[in-house]
Amino acid sequence: MGKSGGDRDGAELTDTMILISVPLDASGVEMISLPRDIWVPEIRAKINSAYYWGKNGSPYFDISSTGGGIAFARKIVGEITGYPIQYGLVVDFSSFKDIVDALGGIEVNVNNGFTDNLYPISGKENDNCGGDITFACRYETIIFNSGLQKMNGETALKFVRSRHAGGDEGTDIARESRQQLIISAIKNKIMEPKTYLSINTDIKMINIAKKYIETDIDIPTAGVLARSVFDGSKNITQLLIPEGLLINPPTSKTYDNLYVFIPRAGNGKWEEIQEWFSSIMDN
């Protein structure tokens, strides 16, 4: 899970959620992105708030029953996918820039170029812009052209965070695809011998992990998983839940007037979603 971090509103919403399956036979790794806007009737909120409510409590359930943010998010995702989630890891996106820069930048093959005229400028969220009713000073325009390009941490962060691009690149589905592109690029850079054999890079990455990562994975298990991921890194499958399995219902009080996704079979009816996960995970 990835959260924005910092002091801004929604800092503990996990807008990035990826289920990772790591077979111990090192046959490969599967990464499946979960749309942040999936509505979960059990918590009367979107799935991206499960970590927050599990950590801080909710008007709808007692915090003592959640087991904490990671445990509760694992529970909710397990109920939706039909698979128990053994471990969870939360990355503060404040670290994202540091990770990419510690690696000396990454190469990303941008499939679809886009322009976002409303990318928020950090620290200007409440700027009154001298009375400008459009609050233009709060935003900057970012442009990404298609093709292979090297990105530093700041550029990569803008690439995955952009929400207001024109056309199809403005959707959450496109954003999930961009997140997977960046993760793949980071993986490729880490797998380069000159990277993982560099003591200085290793030390930087360890310090970043200590500062920005929260997990319930113990150290021995982390070692086993890391080795399995390394061995299966040449066969990584990145997937999105097929669009047809989720629908965007009309805005209503049922969903607190929010933009949400629900199963096409009906609110809270996860069977079709679970069948799709089964077809992926059991093969």
- Which of 73-77, 210-214, 252-256 is predicted least confidently? 210-214
Per the model's pLDDT, the better-predicted residue between 234 and 264 turns out to be 264
| Residue 75 in domain | yes
Residue 62: phi, psi to the nearest 5? -80, 130
| Residue 14 in domain | yes
Residue 132 is which amino acid?
Answer: D
Say how far apart CA 18 and CA 180 lie, in whole Å: 9
Confidence label for 274 from pLDDT (cuts 50, 70 and 90): very high
What pLDDT sits at residue 53? 92
Is the separation of the CB atoms in 228 and 215 below 8 Å?
Answer: no
| Residue 95 in domain | no
Confidence label for 100 from pLDDT (cuts 50, 70 and 90): very high
What are 128-137's pLDDT values in tens digits?
999 999 999 9
**Three-state DSSP class for 58?**
strand
What pLDDT sits at residue 62? 72
Say how far apart CA 112 and CA 58 lie, in whole Å: 40
**Please, what is the angle between helix 271-281 and helix 69-81, to 10°?**
90
Residue 10 is which amino acid?
Answer: G
| Residue 151 in domain | no
Is the separation of the CB atoms in 32 and 19 below 8 Å?
Answer: yes
**Three-state DSSP class for 129?**
helix
What pLDDT sits at residue 229? 80
What are 117-169's pLDDT values in tens digits?
999 998 888 899 999 999 999 999 999 999 999 999 999 989 988 989 988 89
Is the separation of the CB atoms in 247 and 264 below 8 Å?
Answer: yes
What's the domain count of the chain? 1
Can you give the residue range of the structural domain that contains 22? Answer: 1-88+216-283
What are 245-266's pLDDT values in tens digits?
999 999 999 999 999 999 999 9
* Token pair recorded at residue 141: 């325009």
CA distances from 219 to 107, 224, 229 (A): 30, 9, 15
Work out the mean pLDDT of the chain and round it to a whole number.
Answer: 88
Q: Which of 162, 158, 183 is nearest to 171 (CA)?
A: 162
CATH number for the domain spanning 254: value is 3.30.420.590
| Entry field: residues in the chain | 283
What is the pTM (predicted TM-score) of this model? Answer: 0.76
What pLDDT sits at residue 283? 66
pLDDT over 70 (residue 15) = yes
Is the separation of the CB atoms in 23 and 244 below 8 Å?
Answer: no
Residues 6+ apart with CB under 8 A from 229: 22, 29
| Residue 124 in domain | no
Cα separation of the two ends of the chain: 25
Confidence label for 26 from pLDDT (cuts 50, 70 and 90): low
pLDDT over 80 (residue 50) = yes
Rg (C-alpha) for the chain, rounded Å, is 19
Say how far apart CA 143 and CA 137 lie, in whole Å: 17
Residues 6+ apart with CB under 8 A from 184: 236, 238
Residue position matching structure tokens 């007692």: 62
| Residue 172 in domain | no
